[in-house]
Structure 1
Amino acid sequence: MTKADIVTRISDKTGMERADVQATVEAFMKEVRHSLETGDNVYLRGFGSFIIKKRAEKTGRNISKNTTIIIPAHNIPSFKPAKTFVEAVKKKVKVKETANA
């Protein structure tokens, strides 16, 4: 599913104009990105959390030059789904897989 698909489905279900839904989805994504960039996690109850994970410094290899490099510590964005979300997906996917078999 793409962002355009999401906008279309929301527009169809709510009766809102596609342009308004598009603007809302864009604003939501911009706010999540901005919060993570400033170091704040985003918690959406029943859906999940957009969090910042800290990666420790580690040693890596440049295979083409056959040298060792140090990869500095850094932060990466991550999504952690809510427990109820995970359970619902497990239940639905299991039903779908057995139906397709």
Structure 2
Amino acid sequence: MSAAGTLTRADLAESLHREVGLSRADASRLVEQILKHMCEALARGENVKISGFGSFVLRDKGERIGRNPKTGVEVPIAPRRVLTFRASQMMRDRIVSAR
């Protein structure tokens, strides 16, 4: 993991290189292919579920009225599609026990 406490693509590729024995170039390509495949599925409107990790779920949010917190003026918020992540129970258990 990088110094800032964030796991990056490079960190994933390095783990594949060390733990699986792929060359650094092959490990980097594999990470990119997996992420590309996930992005393409989401762009097609499909959800992505990774067993034991979690699910990336697309939700359509309808139009609603919001309020500018500074002025109090009501403004319409356009309908949009949002991406949410829901961790699996196994992942939640691991996070809680890691404290």
Superposition TM-score tier, normalisation by shorter sequence: 0.7 to 0.9
- Mapped pair 1:45 → 2:51: yes
- Give secondary structure in 1 for the equivalent of 2:45: coil
Question: For residues 46-85 of structure 1, what are the structure 2 equivalents within 5 Å?
Answer: 46-61=52-67, 67-85=73-91
- Aligned: 1:12 with 2:18: yes
Aligned-partner Cα distance in 2 for 1:90–1:64 = 38
Q: Is there any run of 5+ residues in structure 1 with no aligned partner, and where?
A: 95-101
Q: Which has the higher helix share?
A: 1
Aligned-pair identity in percent equals 27
CA-based RMSD: 1.8
What TM-score results when the alignment is normalised by the length of structure 1? 0.79
SS at match of 1:31: helix
**Aligned residues, how many?**
93
SS at the partner of 2:82? strand
TM-score, with length taken from structure 2? 0.81
Q: Counterpart of 1:35?
A: 41
